[in-house]
A = this chain, B = another copy of it.
Amino acid sequence: MHGVQSSVIRDLLKLAQRPGIISLAGGLPSPLTFDVEGLKNATQEALAHEPARALQYGLTDGQPALKHQLARLTSSRGATAAEDHIVVTTGSQQGIDLMARLFVNPGEVVVVERPAYLAALQTFALAQASIRSIDTDAHGARVEDIDAVLDVAAANGETVKLIYVVANFANPSGATLSRERRLRLLRTAVARKIFVLEDDPYGELRSFGTPVAPLIALCSEVPGAADWCGYLSTLSKIVAPGLRLGWVVLPPAVHDQAVICKQSMDLHTSTFTQELAARYLASGRLEARLPSIRTAYRERNEALAAALERHLGDRIVYNRPEGGMFLWARLSQEIDAAELLLHAIDEGMIFVPGHAFYADAPDRSTLRLSFATPAASELDEAVRRLARALDRSGRHTTTPAAT
């Protein structure tokens, strides 16, 4: 264990339990989106019809019935996924860990976005990876900067093994990677022989605009890219995180190694949750519910933006996320968001200071606001409290923020 710290977010989640606190810190899906009835039915079916299958040891790459449904779901997103290219994982977090262990030896380089998904940074740190970042803007990671990063690594004699990117409504930046940048990323992967892992937990939660094809779907336009690209997703944001069901779509050679590695990690993911999820997905209830889930998050997305406009105006700068759960903002004044948080806690709201999401060179005036869990009225009140905290912070702060 080197360089790994407990998640700032999980520490904050403890604070979120305090009565009266409104949390914009966590990425917990709204429990209102859970289809309790549908999952109850699916569980009863799994135990009524084939209990021994649901309760016994299963296959390392996943239960065939679930892989069938996940291939279908992946295809509905524009990417053809053969069932035997899929590995079911214990949440997409395990998918990140699996890829890190498969590709990265201690000291080898992983390239991520700046800012990046915190738990991915932790996993790469656990793998003793050397982490390099490329900046993001409103259109996602600045892929055009990647060659410079790779050149520096090569000059240092470092081996770059993996590029990790959340292409849709990234956590924390909220940005969506443009089609042009996705294609350029694939061309870079092929030219430099570096594996690209797209992590897509939020893709189904589009609030506005037009979907962009996943990287594995765009491989058909970039010769050779299919060997250098993987796709990771999860049922956590559209069905329920408590099931811990993710999946990764991989090129055949990588897939086979992944199965061997996964076997050592936990033999296989719960057959019980897999079999019930397979029945749930086969029932068609998810497709029927997705529009209302999207609406729920879009309303929150809009409510947060409206509250920021109303209570903070030009004291905060951000790009409106086209979907997902997160809005990434920068304070107009050079105020340290970690100090702002202390005032915010006093006022009765929490968020995650942005510095936690940087592998290096943090911009300490940034913050991540999650609109996933609170209702629209709570979001308004939370931002009102944030404005009061900012009033207090502005009066006292003397620390210049790093940029």
Residues of A within 8 A of B (CB): 1, 4-7, 10, 26, 28-29, 31, 34, 36, 39-40, 43-44, 47-48, 51-52, 54-58, 60, 89-91, 93-94, 97, 101-102, 105-106, 119, 122-123, 125-126, 236, 240-244, 257, 259-261, 263-273, 275
Contact B265 A97 (CB under 8 A): yes
Contact A39 B56 (CB under 8 A): no
- List, in ascending order, chain B residues with CB within 8 A of A90's CB: 90, 244, 266, 269-270
- List, in ascending order, chain B residues with CB within 8 A of A4's CB: 260-261, 264
Contact A47 B55 (CB under 8 A): no
Contact B242 A119 (CB under 8 A): no
In the assembly, what is the distance between CA of A44 and CA of B60, in Å?
Answer: 27
Contact A271 B242 (CB under 8 A): yes
Contact A93 B242 (CB under 8 A): no
Q: A47-B40, A90-B90 are in contact. Are A1 and B102 (CB under 8 A)?
A: yes
In the assembly, what is the distance between CA of A275 and CA of B57, in Å?
Answer: 20
In the assembly, what is the distance between CA of A149 and CA of B192, in Å?
Answer: 45
Contact B261 A1 (CB under 8 A): yes
The smallest beta-carbon distance between A31 and chain B, in angstroms, is 4
Given contacts A1-B101, A1-B261, A97-B266, 12 further A-B contacts (CB under 8 A): A6-B260, A36-B51, A43-B43, A55-B240, A55-B242, A56-B242, A57-B242, A93-B265, A97-B264, A122-B264, A244-B267, A244-B268
Whose C-beta in chain B lies nearest to the C-beta of A246?
A: B266
Whose C-beta in chain B lies nearest to the C-beta of A97?
A: B265
Question: Per a CB cutoff under 8 Å, which of B31, B34, B122, B263 touches A263?
Answer: B122
In the assembly, what is the distance between CA of A191 and CA of B123, in Å?
Answer: 34
Contact B39 A47 (CB under 8 A): yes
- List, in ascending order, chain B residues with CB within 8 A of A97's CB: 264-266
- List, in ascending order, chain B residues with CB within 8 A of A261's CB: 1, 4, 126
Whose C-beta in chain B lies nearest to the C-beta of A243?
A: B272
- List, in ascending order, chain B residues with CB within 8 A of A244's CB: 90, 266-272
Contact B40 A44 (CB under 8 A): yes
The smallest beta-carbon distance between A11 and chain B, in angstroms, is 11
9 A-B pairs closest in CB distance = A242-B271, A55-B240, A31-B52, A55-B242, A94-B266, A244-B270, A36-B51, A90-B266, A123-B264
